[in-house]
Amino acid sequence: MSEFLQQLINGLSLGAIYALIALGYTMVYGVLRFINFAHSDVFMVGAFIGYYAGEHLPRGTVLGGMASMGAAMLGCAVLGVVIERLVYRPLRGGPTLNVLITAIGVSLFLEYAGQLIFGATPRAFPDIFPSRVIEIRGLIISMNQVIVIAVSTVLMFALEFIVHRTKIGTAMRAVALNPKAALLVGINIDIVISFTFALGSALAGAGGVLYALNYPSIDPLMGVVPGLKAFVAAVLGGIGNIQGAALGALLLGLVETFVDGSRWSTYKDAIAFAILIAILLFRPAGLLGRVSAEKV
Amino acid sequence: MLEIKDLHVSYGAISALRGISLKVDQGAIVTLIGGNGAGKTTTLRTISGLLRPKRGTVVFLGEDITQLAAHRIVARGLGHVPEGRMVFSNLTVDENLAMGAYLQRDKAVIGRNREYVFGIFPRLKERLRQVAGTLSGGEQQMLAIGRALMGEPKFLMLDEPSLGIAPRLISTIFEKIQEINRDRGIAILLVEQNANLALEVSSQAYVLETGLITMEGPSADLRNNPQLKASYLGG
């Protein structure tokens, strides 16, 4: 039983990080109908901003840790907005394939610029939060896991609030549903798209720091694998659907962790993905996605 | 109020409008009639900035808005109820109306416009929490008009408001269009395939055929025009 609970906590904290990344994929897809492949590298940049901020801030305190994370979120939000403004916006209105290929280009650019600037050798991520281990009846929970789960829960509720209770959030949904009609009520689509990139990238930035806390070394290619998995999670949940992305990510985190803890751990990714493929066979639009003809 | 001059619009190599000019006076209801593919929707979309003309100008309230971004045109007081209604189907009726007032900051004005919309379409008030996609065609049309009114337009363009609506609701919608014009002094440009209805409610009419205006004049005159009778008014 305690083994099960232990794995449940591990799986949830891994899934929560996937969720923070997956939300950015799904939101951008929602408004622009393309996959921003550079998103996983924004996540990596977030970890590095957290690393450098952590060096200048008091270590091992909740406040210092939060400040590092805030810096990563802010830095990534700016990076996301700049990428959209400089690279994706000039291509808007053209074929989606062009943007998709460009996104891969941006991804490679960030990865190699990262190697140039940060160096290719993995670095140990500082303990920006207090490192304590809580033990409850044989259950070992690290302070980092508590922080991952707490921070991602807060961020996901904040996102839910922004998207459903604020004017700009409602405008985001309106643009995702029908950009023409959004224009006709006076919504400035450029601003809504910038806002979407800022929001998604900020979440990825937080995800980068949280990921680095649990897998304590970081390098410029660290985004590739978690980014891919978060993308899969977003598709699993129904791409374009915010709750779906969170659900898909938690599911993926749990499956991966439980398989990892079993004797088939060598095949953890293979088994996790096999389960995902099986789910998609029965629900091709994802768990919460709806099959709908795209409106012209 | 609105004047377009020599408007040319094309989709790639196909030209949809081949130099049309029309005028809408303050407080008037003007209709643009014509068959499928004549270019009616293209005309409205070009006026509201969704499409860019190859040549020609659109002047609204004395200002050249030909190259203005669509959201800025809305801010000038030009409302557009698009073809197929285009309500935000996953949003509630309430949220749709809130989006209609997107550019409006004054809460008192928003409140007043809401009351006005509920006054002419009480059905919307009953369905406030309902998701727009689940409304009937007629109710969606009411919502689309209500949403446009929330933007406090001085001029309203309606694209085929009778399309896909239960026949008994069509007359209601047209009465309300006249009411909006009367009560609020909003000038209206009405695009319709149902020429009889359109000529009944309008004072001035234009007939569009394959990208050219082939006939224009007071609606009462056009209603008795034998040529028009044969092709659009069912004999």
**CA-based nearest residue to A220, from A44, A80, A38:** A44
Q: Which residue of A has its CA nearest to B152?
A: A185
Domain assignment present for A164:
yes
pLDDT block averages, 10 residues each, chain B of length 235: 95 91 95 90 96 95 95 96 94 96 94 96 95 94 96 96 90 94 95 90 94 92 83 65
Least CA distance to A171: which residue of chain B?
A: B99
**Per the CB < 8 Å rule, is A181 touching B90?**
no
**CB–CB contact B86 A184 (8 Å):** yes
Smallest Cβ–Cβ distance between A170 and the set B49, B95, B103 belongs to B95
State how far the alpha carbon of A1 is from the alpha carbons of A4, A7, A12, A232, A251, in Å. Answer: 5, 10, 16, 30, 20
The tally of domains found in chain B comes to: 1
- Taking a C-beta distance cutoff of 8 angstroms, is the pair B203, B217 a contact? no
Per-residue pLDDT at A295:
37
Dist. CA A210–CA A130, nearest whole Å: 13
Q: How many domains does the structure of chain A reveal?
A: 1
Residues in chain B: 235
How far off is chain A from B226, nearest CA to CA, in Å? Answer: 38
CATH of the domain at B152: 3.40.50.300
Test B70 with A178 for CB contact under 8 angstroms: no
Across the interface, do A186 and B74 touch by the CB < 8 Å criterion?
Answer: yes
* Selected residue of A163, A165, A185 to mutate for chain B interface (largest B Cβ count, 10 A): A185
> A30-61: buried (b, 16+ CB within 10 Å) or exposed (e) per residue?
bbbebbbbbbbbbbbbbbbbbbebbeebeeee
- Residue A189: closest CA among chain B residues belongs to which residue? B71
Chain A residues whose CB is inside 8 A of the B147 CB are 185
Q: Which residue of A has its CA nearest to B71?
A: A186
- Distances in whole angstroms, Cα of residue B108 to Cα of each of A191, A284, B112, B113: 26, 47, 6, 9
Expressed as residue numbers, the domain containing B107 is 2-231
User: Which residues of chain B does A191 touch, with a Cβ-Cβ cutoff of 8 Å?
Assistant: none
Residue A189 included in any domain: yes
Is A237 within the bounds of a domain?
no
Residue in this structure with the two tokens 């900051």, named with its chain if needed: B105
From the list A167, A173, A180, which residue is nearest B91 (CB)?
A173
Alpha-carbon distance of A245 to A242, in angstroms, equals 5
Q: Does the beta-carbon distance from B50 to A183 stay under 8 Å?
A: yes
Q: What's residue B120's pLDDT?
A: 95
Does A275 reside within a domain? no
Residue in chain A closest to B147 (alpha carbons) equals A185
Residue type, A258: F
In a domain, A284, yes or no: no
Q: Do B50 and A171 touch (CB under 8 A)?
A: no
A252 in a domain, yes or no?
no
Residue A95 falls within a domain, yes or no? yes
Helix axes A2-32, A224-237, angle to 10 degrees: 80
From chain B, pick out residues whose CB is under 8 angstroms from the CB of A174: 88, 91, 99
- Tens of pLDDT along chain A (296 residues)? 678 888 999 999 999 999 999 999 999 999 998 899 999 999 999 999 999 999 998 888 889 999 999 999 999 999 999 999 999 999 998 888 999 999 999 999 999 999 999 999 999 999 899 888 888 877 888 888 899 999 999 999 999 999 999 999 999 999 999 999 999 999 999 999 999 999 999 999 999 999 999 887 899 999 999 999 999 999 999 988 899 999 999 999 999 999 988 888 888 888 878 888 888 899 888 888 876 544 33
- So what's the pLDDT on residue A296? 31
B88/A188 CB distance under 8 A: no
Residue at A79 is within a domain: yes
Cβ contact B99–A178 (<8 Å): no
Say if CB A177 and CB A169 are below 8 A apart: no
Residues of A in contact with B157 (CB under 8 A): none
| Cα–Cα distance for residue pair A164/B41, rounded to 1 Å | 33
3-class DSSP assignment, residue A130: coil
Rg of the Cα trace of chain B? 17
Quote the CA–CA distance of B220 and B91 in Å, as a whole number: 41
B60-70 core/surface letters (b: 16 or more CB in 10 A; e: else):
beeeebbebeb
List phi, psi (to 5°) of A194: -60, -45
Nearest to A177 among B75, B90, B103 (CB): B90
Chain B residues with CB under 8 Å of a chain A CB are: 48-50, 69-71, 74-75, 79-80, 82, 86-91, 95, 98-100, 102-103, 147-148, 150-151
**Chain segment A47-75, per-residue pLDDT in tens:** 999 999 999 988 888 899 999 999 999 99
Asked if B98's CB is within 8 angstroms of A167's CB, the reply is yes
In this predicted model, what pLDDT tens digit does every residue of A211-236 receive, in sequence order? 999 887 899 999 999 999 999 999 99
Which domain covers residue A91, as residue numbers?
14-222
Tokens of A151: 């921070």
